[in-house]
Structures are given as structure tokens and as C-alpha cells.
């Protein structure tokens, strides 16, 4: 039954909330027994929702959750051999430490066989004895290093102690999987570092599978056997910490995990890529002329004499960070961040080299915005979530517009294009942002921004139908900013929908 050694498997799990927002989609994951798996992603990415589905607090809209090969996705939380450590501890305030930890044990029934009067073997479920519970609680308190705290009231404990009690309360039940929902989020930095190590040790000692949720990439890298990077409800990448760090699969992962320089590049030859105005050897094989995102970690850029470098630039800032210096260099219009143990003076011209294994290429996810739109009256087109002015004459070569706004084709035919479906394409650098809400055709919030050396790449999402617009812009905005989007009408490329033409 459990031939593949997977303790838990999520198959095509999707969660849609009542208000029709999709929290998790197309989620496929296998976790092996005894693994320490971390769900990593920004807040609101769906990682906690996924954890809650494994715990049983949320039911998936579709998909299966298999525990040891059996579907448990419909079971209530109390019938799953899974325990949770909550972010805000969720200790029972009306019970002392002992009662909190013993809560699960007291509800446990253990199957025991006994002989009835007629000598037949029977199975009955019995409670744990008081002495057994005592022993287990004591052991759990030992594991979390809080011996002798049994009689203490929960409210008298510090945050760190409460967290330990919460962990003890969960592990005392010997769950098959321990779920931890940002358990260290409320602790201060030093405490957090300590607990990270302790949790890791606990994981080794107990041999229980841990599924850990965090938005802290450093925490994920420190503790996990396997990291699942999640964004927007979908898995971006699954891998070991080293794989995730060294071989990020897309710019989101690269940007989220660690520091990165991300550039637009073009493949110019076999294992050759051009970015920042220079050509580099690389290890990723792409087709010639492919547009790619290039990720270079700051520590993979080596400083050298200006003449020996593949790139040459002027140092514009140097910050001492303890172990290394963070040096920002201006190369033409690009900005490059370097981490180096050697210092470089501001204003100095330095050369930079990047070895092939320091260059990571990824296929560009967004090169152009594509929508299906509808022509509305007066030469405007509705697409995404907004209405923009456009030039419909581009749809029919040689056509003109008459005074009333009707289209006259080259053959002199008069056409009413209202309600015609069209394919709309807008280049990422043809969309402008404005904080004047009425200036553009659509208003949305910036949900993501990634620095690309000489410009930022933004994704603006509308509130209404959650349509995304991808754009490049050299100016700095903030995530969450409400902006309106301006698209000049000559930049909106229209094409009649194929289906429409066939009619």
C-alpha cells in the first residue's frame, strides 16, 4: 500500500474560498517519512491554507490528500494523526501547563486486546492511565527543556516558553506529521535562532515528519530537507535548500531566496548569453535569440582589475555588512550589487568577472501582455479590467474612420465593430503608471516588483477581476501602491480573433 515511502501526498489540490478567491491551485507534493519540509512564500501565497488543509481545518475544493496512501482530505481534524503548532501558540488559557499538554493524551483511546468471560479475544479501546499520562507529559517537558513547569499557569510564561509548551502539547501525541505554522514568527531574533536549532534537533531525535510554514527564507534554508517555494497559490519550485538557492527556476524564486541581480538577457550563441552589454559563457542551454532572465548572485561576482573584467563600472556605494562588503556598481545604465570580502572605494572604477556556474538563465515568463478584449463604442477596447482608447483602423489595412466613428474599410464598406472580440497585445514597456487614479484606463495595486539592473518589473493586479498587467518601468514604486495604468493608443496592438475571421 505504501510502497513509495511517502507519508503524505497532495494531488492536484485546489482551494477556493467562498468569495471565489483561489488560495491554492494545482498543488502536487510528496513528502517522505521523516522529512523536514518547509513551505516558503510571501504572506498570502497560500502556504498556511495548504497546511490547514493537511491539518483538516480547511477542506480542499478539489484534489486528494493521501496519508500513507489513504485519502484523508474529508476527515475532521480530530481523526487525523497530525498535530499542529499554531503561530500564536493557542494554548488553553483556562488550563495550566500540565493540562494543556495532557489535553490530547486524555482524549486518546488505545486499542487493547483482552479475554472476555468465554475466553474470546476482544479488542476494546481504553484510556491512558493517569500514570502513563504523567510520564508522557514529563517526557515532553523534558524535550522542550521546561521540566518542572507542570503547575504553572500559561499566562505567566514568556513567549518563548509558551511556544515550547505548544510544541510539547503537539509532540506528546506522537503524531505522524507535525505541522508548524510560522511557529517562531512572534519571537525575537535571538530566540528565533535558538529555537530553529532546537527544532532541528528535535526533528532528528523524534523522527517525526515536520511540515513547516514560514515566510523567512533564511529560516527555510537553515532548517529544511526540502523547500517548497509557493507564490500566488502555486508551487514555484521544490528542492533542497542548495538546489533552491543555486538553481532557482524563475525570477520569483531567485528574488525571494537570497539577494540577486536579475537582468534581461539574450542568448547569442551556444552557451553564450548577453546582458549588461557584455557576453558571458553560461551553463544553461537555450535556443539562440531566446529572451531570458539572467540571475547572478552578488557573491558570484568577483572584483578584478578594470582591464581584466568582463564588465567595467564605477563603484557608487560600499556598505560594510560584517562578514562582507556590499558594493553597488554602476555599469552603463545598470546597477549591479556585489558581495565581496574585499573593499572597493566609492568612485573607483573596477572590473567584474562572473564564472559560468554563477550565471543562471531562466526562460522569460512575461514578455508581452496578452488579453482577449472586446471593442466597445467610439474606438475603445475593453480588456483585462479596463477600457482603453485604441486605433481600430489597424484591424483592417487601409481603412479609415468616418465622422461618426464607424470604420470604413479599404473597399468602402462601413463596419460597426461594437462587441467584436479581438486579441490585444501590449508590450511590457508600453504601459505607464500614474498615481492619478483617473489618468489611466484601469486602476490596480502593484503586487510584485523585481529589480532588473536598469529597471523594475512590476505586476499590477486589478481589484475587480484580478487581472494582471506586467510592465517595466525605471522608476521606483512600492508594492501595494494603487496606480492607474496609461497605455498610449498606438501601442495597443489589436488582432481580430481567429474564430471571428472564420465565420
Cβ 107 to another protein, closest distance in Å?
4
Task: Restricting to residues 457-476, name those near another protein by CB under 8 A.
Answer: none
Q: Which is nearer to another protein, 151 or 270 (CB)?
A: 151
Cβ 208 to another protein, closest distance in Å?
15
324 binds another protein (CB under 8 A): no
Pairing verdict, β 177-181 and 121-127:
unpaired
Cβ 173 to another protein, closest distance in Å?
7
Q: Which is nearer to another protein, 55 or 381 (CB)?
A: 55
Q: Return the sign of the alpha-carbon dihedral for residues 383, 386, 391, 392.
A: positive
Interatomic CA distance for residues 165 and 494, integer angstroms: 62
Contacts of 331 (CB under 8 A, 6+ apart): 276, 277, 311, 312, 313, 352
Size of the site for another protein (CB under 8 A): 27
Interatomic CA distance for residues 134 and 309, integer angstroms: 68
Cβ 474 to another protein, closest distance in Å?
45
Residue 87, SS3? Answer: coil
Closest to 348 measured CA to CA, from 332, 367, 366, 328: 328
Please answer whether residues 75 and 59 qualify as being in contact, where contact means their C-beta atoms are separated by less than 8 angstroms: no
Among 34, 42, 44, 77, interactor with another protein by CB under 8 A:
77
Segment lying near another protein (by CB under 8 A), choices 34-42, 74-82, 231-239, 433-441:
74-82
88 binds another protein (CB under 8 A): yes
HSE, side-chain direction, 13 A CA sphere, residue 82 = 29
126 binds another protein (CB under 8 A): no
17 binds another protein (CB under 8 A): no
176 binds another protein (CB under 8 A): no
Among 21, 62, 69, 92, interactor with another protein by CB under 8 A:
92
323 binds another protein (CB under 8 A): no
86 binds another protein (CB under 8 A): yes
Interatomic CA distance for residues 372 and 249, integer angstroms: 29
Please answer whether residues 325 and 343 qualify as being in contact, where contact means their C-beta atoms are separated by less than 8 angstroms: yes
Interatomic CA distance for residues 459 and 441, integer angstroms: 16
1 binds another protein (CB under 8 A): no
Pairing verdict, β 278-281 and 482-486:
unpaired
CA angle 81, 87, 179 (to 5 degrees): 25
Cβ 55 to another protein, closest distance in Å?
6
- The full 3-state SS of 168-231, as one line of letters, equals HHHHCCCCCEEEEECCCCCCCHHHHHHHHHHHHHHHHHHCCEEEEEECCHHHHHHHCCEEEEEE
Cβ 227 to another protein, closest distance in Å?
24
Segment lying near another protein (by CB under 8 A), choices 66-74, 93-101, 220-228, 246-254:
93-101
Among 49, 161, 173, 448, interactor with another protein by CB under 8 A:
173
Cβ 150 to another protein, closest distance in Å?
14
Residue 366, SS3? Answer: coil
Q: How far is CA 19 from CA 16, 22, 174, 463, in A?
A: 8, 9, 37, 13
61 binds another protein (CB under 8 A): no
Over the window 19 to 58, marking each residue x when it contacts another protein by CB under 8 A and - when it does not, the resulting string is ------------------------------------xxx-
Over the window 127 to 166, marking each residue x when it contacts another protein by CB under 8 A and - when it does not, the resulting string is --------------------------x-xx----------
Among 78, 289, 341, 438, interactor with another protein by CB under 8 A:
78
Segment lying near another protein (by CB under 8 A), choices 80-88, 198-206, 414-422, 490-498:
80-88
Q: Helix H segments across 108-174? A: 130-143, 159-171
Q: Which is nearer to another protein, 162 or 231 (CB)?
A: 162
453 binds another protein (CB under 8 A): no
Catalogue the E-assigned strands of 17-167: 22-32, 36-40, 62-67, 70-71, 82-85, 109-115, 121-127
117 binds another protein (CB under 8 A): no
94 binds another protein (CB under 8 A): yes
Residue 403, SS3? Answer: coil
Query: Using CB under 8 A as the criterion, which residues of the chain lie in contact with another protein when the complex forms?
Result: 55-57, 76-78, 82-84, 86, 88, 90-95, 103-104, 107-108, 153, 155-156, 169-170, 173
Amino acid at each position: 500500500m505504501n510502497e513509495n515511502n511517502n507519508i503524505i501526498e497532495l494531488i492536484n489540490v485546489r482551494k477556493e474560498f467562498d468569495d471565489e478567491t483561489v488560495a491554492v491551485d494545482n498543488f502536487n507534493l510528496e513528502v517522505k517519512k521523516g522529512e523536514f519540509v518547509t513551505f516558503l512564500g510571501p504572506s498570502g501565497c497560500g502556504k498556511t491554507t495548504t497546511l490547514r488543509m493537511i491539518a483538516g481545518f480547511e477542506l480542499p475544493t478539489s484534489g486528494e490528500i493521501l496519508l500513507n496512501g489513504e485519502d484523508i482530505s474529508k476527515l475532521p481534524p480530530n481523526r487525523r494523526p497530525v498535530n499542529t503548532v499554531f503561530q500564536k501558540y493557542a494554548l488553553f488559557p483556562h488550563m495550566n501547563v500540565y493540562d494543556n499538554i495532557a489535553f490530547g493524551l486524555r482524549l486518546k483511546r488505545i486499542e487493547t486486546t483482552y479475554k472476555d468471560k468465554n475466553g474470546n479475544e476482544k479488542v476494546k479501546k481504553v484510556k491512558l492511565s493517569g500514570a502513563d499520562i504523567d510520564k508522557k507529559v514529563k517526557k515532553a517537558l523534558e524535550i522542550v527543556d521546561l521540566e518542572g513547569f507542570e503547575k504553572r499557569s500559561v499566562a505567566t510564561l514568556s513567549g518563548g516558553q509558551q511556544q515550547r509548551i505548544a510544541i510539547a502539547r503537539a509532540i506528546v501525541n506522537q503524531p505522524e506529521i507535525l505541522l508548524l505554522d510560522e511557529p517562531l514568527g512572534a519571537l525575537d531574533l535571538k530566540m528565533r535562532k535558538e529555537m530553529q536549532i532546537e527544532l532541528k534537533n528535535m526533528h532528528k531525535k523524534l523522527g517525526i515528519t515536520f511540515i513547516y510554514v514560514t515566510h523567512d527564507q533564511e529560516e527555510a534554508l537553515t532548517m529544511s530537507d526540502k523547500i517548497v517555494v509557493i507564490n500566488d497559490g502555486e508551487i514555484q519550485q521544490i528542492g533542497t535548500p542548495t538546489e533552491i538557492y543555486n538553481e532557482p527556476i524563475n525570477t520569483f524564486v531567485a528574488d525571494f531566496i537570497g539577494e540577486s541581480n536579475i537582468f534581461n538577457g539574450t542568448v547569442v550563441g551556444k552557451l553564450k548569453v548577453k546582458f549588461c552589454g557584455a557576453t558571458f559563457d553560461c551553463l544553461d542551454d537555450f535556443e539562440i535569440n531566446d529572451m531570458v532572465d539572467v540571475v547572478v548572485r552578488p557573491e558570484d561576482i568577483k572584483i578584478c582589475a578594470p582591464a581584466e573584467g568582463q564588465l567595467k563600472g564605477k563603484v557608487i556605494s560600499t556598505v560594510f555588512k560584517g562578514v562582507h562588503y556590499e558594493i553597488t556598481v554602476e555599469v552603463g545604465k545598470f546597477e549591479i550589487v556585489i558581495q565581496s570580502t574585499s573593499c572597493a572605494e566609492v568612485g573607483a572604477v573596477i572590473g567584474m568577472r562572473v564564472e559560468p556556474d554563477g550565471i543562471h538563465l531562466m526562460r522569460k515568463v512575461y514578455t508581452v501582455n496578452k488579453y482577449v478584449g472586446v471593442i466597445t463604442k467610439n474606438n475603445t477596447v475593453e480588456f483585462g479590467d479596463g477600457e482603453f482608447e485604441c486605433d481600430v483602423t489597424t484591424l483592417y489595412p487601409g481603412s479609415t474612420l468616418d465622422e461618426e466613428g464607424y470604420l470604413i474599410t479599404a473597399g468602402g464598406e462601413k463596419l460597426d465593430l461594437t462587441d467584436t472580440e479581438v486579441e490585444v497585445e501590449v508590450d511590457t514597456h508600453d504601459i505607464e503608471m500614474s498615481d492619478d487614479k483617473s489618468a489611466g484606463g484601469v486602476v490596480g495595486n502593484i503586487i510584485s516588483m523585481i529589480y532588473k539592473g536598469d529597471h523594475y518589473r512590476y505586476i499590477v493586479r486589478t481589484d475587480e477581476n484580478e487581472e494582471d498587467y506586467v510592465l517595466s518601468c525605471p522608476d521606483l514604486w512600492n508594492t501595494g501602491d494603487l496606480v492607474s495604468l496609461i497605455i498610449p493608443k498606438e501601442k495597443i496592438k489589436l488582432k481580430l480573433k481567429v474564430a471571428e475571421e472564420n465565420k
